[in-house]
Structure 1
Amino acid sequence: MLAAESPAPRGRAIVLFLLLLAFLALVVGRLFAFQIRDHQRLTRRATQQYERRLPVTAKRGTITDRHGRELAVSLEAHSLYAHPAAIRDPRAAAAALAPILGVPRGEILTRLTAGKPFVWLERKLPGRQAEVLAGLTLPGIGLVPESRRSYPRGQLAAHLVGFVGLDDTGLEGVEYQYDALLGGGSRFVTGRVDALGRVLFRDEGPRPPAPADLVLTVDEVIQYVAERELQRAVARAAAQAGSVLVLEPGTGEVLALANVPTFDLNAFAQAPATSRRNRALADSYEPGSVFKVVLAAAALEEGLVQPGEFFFGEHGVIEVAGVKIRDHERYGWLTFSQVMAQSSNVGAIKVGQRLGRSGYYNYLSGFGFGSRTGMDLPGETPGLLRRPREWSGVSIAALSIGQEVSVTSLQLGAALAAVANGGRLYRPHVLKAVRGGGGAPPREVPPQLIRRVISPETARRLTAILVEAVERGTGKAAAVPGYTVAGKTGTAQKLDQEAGLYSRDKVVASFAGFVPAESPRLAILVVLDEPRLDRWGGSAAGPAFREIAREVLHYLNVPPSPGRRAQVARRADAAAQGLN
């Protein structure tokens, strides 16, 4: 009889079979997880090891002045890009790149060993640097084409043009205001590392719409003259700062806008915030006697005063609501025209009292004070004009001489232009035309009339008074040989915030005028903040107005005023004799 077969071998076979089956099930499960359940996640993870989708700056539109002179352009540039996983020797790569980039080797090495799949090493390199880098052929290092914003005129019209950031997004000025038109949007490129460690790029997705080119109202030549004369005026008077605004009276077009201190648009990051501030829009101040132009406009329009009407100057002091207000001279009897020409505070206060609270307020707000002009530049402040119910017993007197009200140079310039053009208040603007952009046809920007503030007859009578202020009053230094100038001086004490009193030393000196008075082509405002050597608007700001007007009128080929040609001829003869 044969012995029964032992169950041990069969049991071991079953166990082995079950273990093998379990192992196969585990393998199948893992394959299912890799190939099906986690396929997308793992694919993305693997792709990130050798591929990266990056936004790069598209070419931005060009900004030009009114005659097509370039103020902002986009140039070709390249950005240096690294795929650290494909770099065989980070130390050698850092050593090769450091002298070309002008960056410490350790800083580059830190970026290459930070554990990131892709890193920027340097953005928007100049052409020469990019050429040298392209010749290195370092594994894992690549260049991607971008555009770089450049400002050919440096600091010219800096506060008006503005600038962009590293990603070509507008940060200030026209660049910010019209970023959507200029930008054209971002484009994307995909960087992929090939078998040799080279980073290759391809465009991805739809290309952004074509950017628009912008034509500004500013004239490069007028802007240059305004900046030059403002710099000279600030230096001559030892002022803290200053602004100049030049407007075309009949349209509100800004021909020039200048501020001191200023900065170079190509190095804006190195400029302090005070230099980048657009003072003509952002800074408000009490205007002083230049504000009497608005007072005169209101009184003449309401028929409350006549140019030849006499006012007693009270020998230089008047008391209102228990407050004594003084003149700079001890005047006796003056006609209203002389009140304006000599800038008499006493005479102006008496005129303001005739207007009354509501009457005067309606004209102040009508001229745009206390609200933004709506100019197409960022950063404009509304100034401050309190409502009549908030006025004190001395408020009408203070407002009549340009106190208890805060204005910007832009508001004051727009009001002056309204007098110059016959009584129409236009919105100041800097955009003249839009060219191209997404296939759109060229578009001109028309003038924007806000409202009529005074009648043409009132504007004519006020102009005659302002001519007298230049020819026989405080504005003599602003007279332009051969042309009739209408204007008004202003010297405003600044409020000492700590003492709560008007400072004896700190003032705002200004001159506002238009020329030729009979057919104005230019409305010009010059403002100097805290001049230390010459504190009077007429002598500190007037000469800057004169030189800007003289040179720009010649540039525009504006003929001399009727009856002034003989004066020009006599001056020319005298100059010629002086050379002999």
Structure 2
Amino acid sequence: MPNRIDRSKVTKNTSSRKKRKSKTVLRKIKRKISIVFFLVGLIFLTLATRIFIINHKDGDKYSKQVLDHQQYTSTVIPYKRGQIIDRNGTILAYSEKVYNLILDPKIILSDEIYKEPTLNALIKCFDLKIEDLENVIATKPNSHYEKLLKNLSGDQIAAFKELVADTEHNPNIKGAWFEDSYIRKYPFSSLACDTLGFASPANGGELGLESYYNDNLSGTDGITYGYVDENLDIEKTTKDPINGENLITTIDFSVQSIIEKHIKEFNTTYGSKSTAIVIMNPNNGEILGMASSPAFDLNNPRDLTGQYTADQLAKMSDQEKNDALYSIWNNYCVSSIFEPGSTFKPFTVSAALEQNVVSINDKFLCTGSEKIGTSIIPCWQTSGHGVETLEQAVMNSCNPAMMQIGAKIGVVSFADYQARFGFGQKTGIDLPAEEAGITISADKMSPTDLACSAFGQSFNVNMVQMVSGFSSLINGGNYYAPHIVKRIEKDNGEVVKTVNSTLVKQTITKSTSDTIKKILKSTVDSGTAMKAKVAGYSIAGKTGTAQKRPIADKKYVISFLGFAPAENPKFVIYIVIDEPNVPAAMSGSSAPVLTLTNQVLTDLLPYMNVYKDTDEPTVDASNSPIEHFTGSILPN
């Protein structure tokens, strides 16, 4: 028999060979891995050695280079606040770029070769003292940001920048740099100060349009992020700032200048607690001019030296100074309320005509006073006006006639028309701190209240309320919302918003409006407002005199509310003089406000392209009747 193969032995031998081969492969792999680990370790050792040598030999140099650039790691780029511009493009407020000088003590101290040349350059170029600089560095050695000077112009920093740029001769000026900033500028100082208001970097808009439209005028700061790359070069990423939006206002620079000129002249001659003027377009609610005294410098709004002597200021507490500032900053045209006096009489007549309780042909008897209940309420002309037509009652500013008309209207309708004309409620004008005024509700209005209200006393109004409601009386009955901004634009000129004229309501019919215009023209032509007339021009309006409480003080608010041309009004003018400092003979008289009105209109009419109707000579109004308040039954 052939020899048999022992298969079990063969299998064992094959397995043994495989195991020996596998061990051989593993030994080779381990050897290679060991070689790789050795090489990697050698490389790391070499790198570590190199880093150690660099750090030991040149580490300070590289650290200083990095420190020199640390101020670039995060720098705020301020936005530019939006401009405020008049209707014709005249800039009334803008932001001017300036620079703050920043000292970096840590960089200066990072190498002894930096300190001397840097401080010498600062002393040479700026009004700085070495001891002050040394003190900053000594007390703040680890600071990267110490503001030395602020609001420097480009010209003021030019010399220092030139020294720094000359690295060949000045390689070691380090640790001083300039931060961009903006300051608010008002090129016409106090012009329209109440209306514009002012802004500060800390608080933003604080008064007027600057406050009301602060969100629009404000922008968003940009920022520059920076880092030092492996070559010690600065790599920057910049997010640009978003500048504020511009306000295009309804204010006319020339109109504003005219009214402020005459306010100043009046106060130089006489003076008052406050003298205020509003000029409005009655056909769309746009305010063309608004001013009141006292005025203040928008570029230095907290300066009281123009209002008080040095001795007075020295004696004032901080609270008293704050109160004085707020008094000066008050915009009389929207934030002060007062009794309107006889300028309200056209409203009373309009309400009566609308209610059909009187007609243009009605007659009224004035005996010099009117008895209401147990009270006797006088007319300003104590001898009485006799029998008057409706037109004559307004022309003569007759109180008894108005009381009789008020009684015909009744308390319910009278209160309703007060609200319809906008009294007792804010107009919504785009200015802060508007006062709503005070009226008497129908359920609380006594016969005496009704009688006094009919001729403009026993309730309070603000100037914008009066001029807005009055505009509706003479424009056909349309009440427009008063406003000062007509357009908002981005800094590139793109229009963000257009403020269109807003017709709020109809107050009276056109026929009543036409009648009122005719009556008020007669009042200027031959009534109590004759002294306001400018020769050759068609002007209409009404005077007002209201006694302030306490009555014993004999203080008054005198006013004129009118328009031109009389037939087709282009503008309404409202002048209020609160507590005029006039001679005793003029106390309680409307004469001072009529003189001021005439002076303002003499300049204003030609500018507003109102043409003369005739070449008539100046009217002799020396003997014309002047409303003169003689007393009131209202309690002290």
Normalising TM by the smaller chain, what interval? 0.7 to 0.9
Instruction: Give how far 1:132 is off.
Output: 4.6
Instruction: Find the aligned partners of 1:145 and 1:192 in 2 and give their Cα distance.
Output: 20
Q: Deviations along 1:387-438, whole A, 9 cap, x unmatched?
A: 2223234210121122221111111111121122111111111112223358
**Equivalent residue in structure 1 for 2:347, among 291, 294, 318:** 294
Q: Say whether 1:262 aligns with 2:295.
A: yes
Partner of 1:282: 335
Alignment of 1:349-360 (within 5 A): 349-360=403-414
Instruction: Give how far 1:319 is off.
Output: 2.8
1:401/1:167 CA distance change after superposition, 3 Å: same
For 1:525, give the aligned amino acid: Y
Alignment of 1:5-404 (within 5 A): 50-51=70-71, 53=74, 55-88=76-109, 113=139, 117-134=144-161, 139-167=174-202, 169-189=204-224, 206-271=239-304, 272-314=325-367, 316-329=368-381, 330-331=383-384, 332-404=386-458
Q: Deviations along 1:207-265, whole A, 9 cap, x unmatched?
A: 23343322111111111001111222233332121110000110111110111111122
TM-score normalised by the chain length of structure 1? 0.80
Instruction: Give how far 1:452 is off.
Output: 0.7
TM-score normalised by the chain length of structure 2? 0.73
1:483/1:84 CA distance change after superposition, 3 Å: same
Instruction: Find the aligned partners of 2:399 and 2:201 in 1 and give their Cα distance.
Output: 52
Instruction: Give how far 1:91 is off.
Output: 11
Q: Which has the larger radius of gyration?
A: 2
SS of aligned partner of 1:268: coil
1:393/1:555 CA distance change after superposition, 3 Å: closer
Instruction: Find the aligned partners of 1:311 and 1:139 in 2 and give their Cα distance.
Output: 90
Matched residues, percent identical?
28
Q: Deviations along 1:112-143, whole A, 9 cap, x unmatched?
A: 53575423333322333333554575643221
Partner of 2:28: none
For 1:129, give the aligned amino acid: Q
Q: Deviations along 1:8-64, whole A, 9 cap, x unmatched?
A: xxxxxxxxxxxxxxxxxxxxxxxxxxxxxxxxxxxxxx9999557454531222222
- In structure 1, the gaps of 5 or more residues are 1-45, 195-199, 497-501, 572-580
Instruction: Find the aligned partners of 1:157 and 1:395 in 2 and give their Cα distance.
Output: 37
Partner of 1:515: 564
SS of aligned partner of 1:511: strand
Q: Deviations along 1:273-325, whole A, 9 cap, x unmatched?
A: 322221111111111111112111111211222233221213x2223233332
Instruction: Give how far 1:106 is off.
Output: 7.6
**Equivalent residue in structure 2 for 1:457, among 487, 511, 514:** 511
1:169/1:536 CA distance change after superposition, 3 Å: same
Instruction: Give how far 1:520 is off.
Output: 0.4
Instruction: Find the aligned partners of 2:237 and 2:375 in 1 and give their Cα distance.
Output: 73
For 1:68, give the aligned amino acid: G
1:238/1:151 CA distance change after superposition, 3 Å: closer
**Equivalent residue in structure 1 for 2:464, among 410, 423, 433:** 410
For 1:377, give the aligned amino acid: L
SS of aligned partner of 2:96: strand
For 1:286, give the aligned amino acid: E
1:464/1:96 CA distance change after superposition, 3 Å: same
Instruction: Find the aligned partners of 1:553 and 1:150 in 2 and give their Cα distance.
Output: 31
Instruction: Find the aligned partners of 1:201 and 1:320 in 2 and give their Cα distance.
Output: 88
Instruction: Give how far 1:76 is off.
Output: 2.1
1:453/1:105 CA distance change after superposition, 3 Å: farther
Instruction: Give how far 1:335 is off.
Output: 2.1
Instruction: Give how far 1:440 is off.
Output: 4.6
Q: Say whether 1:545 aligns with 2:578.
A: no
**Conservation of the 8 A alpha-carbon contact between 1:491 and 1:535:** no
Q: Deviations along 1:527-577, whole A, 9 cap, x unmatched?
A: 11110214456311122222322322211322223xxx2316999xxxxxx
**Conservation of the 8 A alpha-carbon contact between 2:531 and 2:595:** yes
1:55/1:396 CA distance change after superposition, 3 Å: farther
**Conservation of the 8 A alpha-carbon contact between 1:86 and 1:193:** no
Partner of 1:8: none
Instruction: Give how far 1:361 is off.
Output: 0.6
Instruction: Find the aligned partners of 1:391 and 1:527 in 2 and give their Cα distance.
Output: 27
**Conservation of the 8 A alpha-carbon contact between 1:140 and 1:193:** no
| Aligned residues: CA RMSD | 3.3
**Equivalent residue in structure 2 for 1:422, among 476, 487, 501:** 476
1:202/1:163 CA distance change after superposition, 3 Å: farther
Instruction: Find the aligned partners of 1:201 and 1:527 in 2 and give their Cα distance.
Output: 64
1:102/1:262 CA distance change after superposition, 3 Å: farther
Higher mean C-alpha deviation, range 370-379 or range 539-548: 539-548
1:94/1:295 CA distance change after superposition, 3 Å: farther
For 1:508, give the aligned amino acid: V
SS of aligned partner of 2:512: helix
1:72/1:193 CA distance change after superposition, 3 Å: farther
Instruction: Find the aligned partners of 2:297 and 2:418 in 1 and give their Cα distance.
Output: 37
Instruction: Find the aligned partners of 2:556 and 2:236 in 1 and give their Cα distance.
Output: 59
**Conservation of the 8 A alpha-carbon contact between 2:226 and 2:236:** no
SS of aligned partner of 2:560: strand
